[in-house]
Chain A
């Protein structure tokens, strides 16, 4: 069964360093989401792509976060510089159908710890 791949699974970094996360969605899924989940809370959307275009990045802290999906397939989320409050699980999901109507398939997540 096709899965969403994410790497790395775990990342420990120091404050002010740069970190990058990678996501490869299920083949054929045009919609890709990056979520941040703080411990004990539900996921929060950071950015949504439709193919290579950003559909929603209203909750992305653009002073330090950036996301791209250059060829409309895999995607990279970057944080520079990382802050203590960025410690969280970063989840990638993909969907065949846009706008939240379709089932979203989640990757295993990247757990980030900023020291």
Chain B
């Protein structure tokens, strides 16, 4: 069966520090991969998605970046965090193609102080 792992689960970082959140999927090949951010009262905002290794689509201009170094690995990064980067970050995967539902990881809670 397919599983998705996301870490760390909780992170407290000072403003201006770097960030790296990692997500891996097991039990499937060539998945679509996604990073969403959830802020209080704002629902889920799609940040990045990838349909293949090295292929990253950015949905929102920001100081975050994403990379997909391997087929089932998706990394969210920042060189310098802002207060506004605080939130709950969710990684998800889906099978390739349209109309496919997403399977979510357990999330990473980031607090920037």
Physical interaction between A and B: no
A interface residue numbers (CB < 8 A to B):
none
Interface residues of B (CB under 8 A from A): none
